[in-house]
Amino acid sequence: MTEPAPAAVSAAHSAAHEGILRRQSARESAARTYARALPIVPVRARGLTIEGADGQRYLDCLSGAGTLALGHNHPVVLEAIRKVLDSGAPLHVLDLATPVKDAFTTELFRTLPRGLADRARIQFCGPAGTDAVEAALKLVRTATGRDGMLAFTGAYHGMTAGALEASGGAQDVRVARLPYPQDYRCPFGIGGADGAELAARWTESLLDDPKSGVPHPAGMILEPVQGEGGVIPAPADWLRRMREITAARSIPLIADEVQTGVGRTGTFWAVEHSGIVPDVMVLSKAIGGSLPLAVVVYRDDLDVWPPGAHAGTFRGNQLAMAAGSATLAYVRENGLAERAGVLGARMLAQLRSLAAGHPCVGDVRGSGLMIGVELVDPGGADQLGISDGLSAAISGGTSSGVPAERHLPAGPAVPAESAVPAKSAGPSESAGSTGPVSFLGRSPRPLPPAPELAAAVQRECLSRGLIVELGGRHSSVVRLLPPLTITDEQATAILDRLAEAISAAARPHYA
């Protein structure tokens, strides 16, 4: 149950809470999103915890859609904001130079993958991730003189026209859609390294076949871990293949690290798990330290667009830059990426043990503190209709060493690759527990997604004081994006509440 705040929850608090929610539903757009599933009225927040107007407290694993690397109102962020406010500096300066911006750029460049950092240029964009995606697409189109774009199934890049075109739900002639590798719902029915290799070969053949119908593109945009698409980490080998394929064909590679950046996945930038150096990186969310900020960082030879090519009024938010510098420095100095990797691996292992006792949990996957639990209908039929025989034939009898006929784990669900020590793997290997891992021990035959059950789990979580997000192709993935600063005890509290919520939600569905 939700914890009451120390002050007794008064009837007046309750009435205020109800009134605000009532007015919201009467006055705000039908297109509102999080507010529908999370009928809370946050009034105070610190770290992982949000307090509602009704006096209830919640553990916030939504973190402003992954924005709050340091949680709510972290002291270093507040101090950085106060310092700017007290200094008399202008708060709004378009794209003029300021000491605050200079410090932000220096700190950001310090964190970039080597190979890009030395030759980086930065474009400050309108403050949403989607505007930075637009800028990246425009940049590579200008630099190459080409128009087409390669993007991936399940991708999410934002809500403006170009970003939406590149996202998975869109149908657009300028964007060629390629398979994103995934184990649980592998389009080829085999998952693992074999599935990823088939996805890479598909990409290669599309580019090299003169009759593929895909003209030589201006760029390829990908998320190193798909977030909204259902928390799907790209295998490091596949990312390296994408880097080789694009480099060999002079196609700029754009890494959209809007959600995966600033330590979230266990390295400062998620591309570091594979060691690849993209040509362009799109950065937002956590780089603003909880305030709106978005940039594109790219190699200098692409910097051929003319002045004003990507303008916008709100590109000079000094408070966001100060909060962002403080956040980037704090994550770097305190090793929070490594901490996210270690804690995330532990949480994944615990969730996998939990999954073994819950047939409605189809898959558990993630990277660092970007974690997804896919809810399925255990009574449902095989969705892909790929027989075990065919699957076995494609994969040579096994998928990732797991017998093809094995649908759900019989014993403790420990993936083979989590046995590989992360630290010995080095930055160019993905297989460590701090790198992207997926539940290869699961099945090449996914069970049908269970979006209603996932929504029920989200409601049960909320009633236990835990805020989680839903995502994935079918909105059936419960997503955890806690701050990188959470303690071991807080991680345990999150998993306890989630476990209870899954049990409670599953009971009426599968009694």
Q: Give residues in contact with ligand PLP (CB under 6 A).
A: 65, 128-130, 133, 156-158, 223, 227-228, 256, 258-259, 284
We find the least distance from the C-beta atom of residue 136 to ligand PLP, in angstroms, to be 10
Residues contacting 273, CB < 8 A, separation 6+: 224, 233, 236, 239, 265, 266, 267, 367, 427, 430, 435, 436
Residue 44's alpha-carbon distances to 5, 78, 81, 413, in angstroms, are 11, 14, 17, 39
- In the bound state with ligand PLP, the residue whose beta carbon lies nearer, of 223 and 377, is 223
We find the least distance from the C-beta atom of residue 33 to ligand PLP, in angstroms, to be 11
Strands of 262-313, DSSP E: 280-283, 295-299
- In the bound state with ligand PLP, the residue whose beta carbon lies nearer, of 288 and 362, is 288
- In the bound state with ligand PLP, the residue whose beta carbon lies nearer, of 129 and 378, is 129
Q: Which helix (H) or strand (E) element contains residue 211?
A: none
- In the bound state with ligand PLP, the residue whose beta carbon lies nearer, of 295 and 364, is 295
We find the least distance from the C-beta atom of residue 228 to ligand PLP, in angstroms, to be 5
CA 176 to chain centre: 22
We find the least distance from the C-beta atom of residue 292 to ligand PLP, in angstroms, to be 8
- In the bound state with ligand PLP, the residue whose beta carbon lies nearer, of 226 and 485, is 226
Q: Which residue, among 402, 409, 400, has the nearest Cα to 359 in the 3D structure?
A: 409
Residue 406's alpha-carbon distances to 109, 389, 477, in angstroms, are 47, 12, 22
The β-bridge partners of 361 are 375
Q: Which residue is nearest to ligand PLP (CB)?
A: 129
- In the bound state with ligand PLP, the residue whose beta carbon lies nearer, of 189 and 233, is 233
We find the least distance from the C-beta atom of residue 259 to ligand PLP, in angstroms, to be 4
Secondary structure (DSSP) of 408-419: S-SS----GGGG
- In the bound state with ligand PLP, the residue whose beta carbon lies nearer, of 366 and 432, is 366
Taking the C-alpha atoms of residue 477 and residue 470, their distance in angstroms, rounded to an integer, is 5
We find the least distance from the C-beta atom of residue 227 to ligand PLP, in angstroms, to be 5
Taking the C-alpha atoms of residue 285 and residue 227, their distance in angstroms, rounded to an integer, is 13
We find the least distance from the C-beta atom of residue 53 to ligand PLP, in angstroms, to be 25
Compute the residue count for the chain.
511
Q: Which residue, among 174, 181, 165, 252, has the nearest Cα to 214 in the 3D structure?
A: 174
